[in-house]
């Protein structure tokens, strides 16, 4: 498993993003949209910085995912 994680490519992140965005189509209220966009962002960064360690990739994904989901939730509360 560690060997796989050490060789994560941008394609893996784009595949995860695609899966999350397809699941969002089935109506989860916007949360998977932001996780999917976070995966796209990490995939883009992995493309631009190919030697980015997998630990940093996961840290970026989790951080971006949490920030965007919390921002979305805060925005939804203000709209109501």
What is the pLDDT, as a whole number, of residue 27? 79
Tokens of 40: 């796209």
What is the pLDDT, as a whole number, of residue 73? 86
Question: What pTM does this model have?
Answer: 0.86
Domain with 12 in it = 2-79
Q: d(Cα 9, Cα 41) in Å, to the nearest integer?
A: 13
Of 38, 10, 45, 44, the residue nearest 24 (C-alpha): 38
DSSP single-letter state for residue 49 = S
pLDDT in tens, 8-36: 888 999 999 999 999 999 876 777 888 99
What is the pLDDT, as a whole number, of residue 28? 67
Q: Are 45 and 52 in contact (CB under 8 A)?
A: yes
Q: Is the dihedral of CA 50, 52, 55, 57 positive or negative?
A: negative
pLDDT of residue 2 exceeding 80, the answer is no
Q: How many domains does the chain have?
A: 1
73 or 45, greater pLDDT: 45
Q: d(Cα 31, Cα 68) in Å, to the nearest integer?
A: 9
């Amino acid at each position: 498993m560690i060997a796989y994680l050490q060789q994560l490519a941008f394609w893996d992140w784009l595949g995860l993003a695609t899966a999350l965005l397809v699941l969002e189509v089935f109506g989860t209220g916007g949360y998977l949209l932001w996780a999917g966009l976070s995966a796209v962002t990490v995939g883009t960064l992995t493309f631009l910085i190919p030697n980015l360690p997998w630990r940093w990739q996961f840290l970026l994904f989790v951080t971006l995912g949490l920030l965007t989901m919390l921002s979305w939730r805060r925005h939804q509360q203000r709209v109501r």
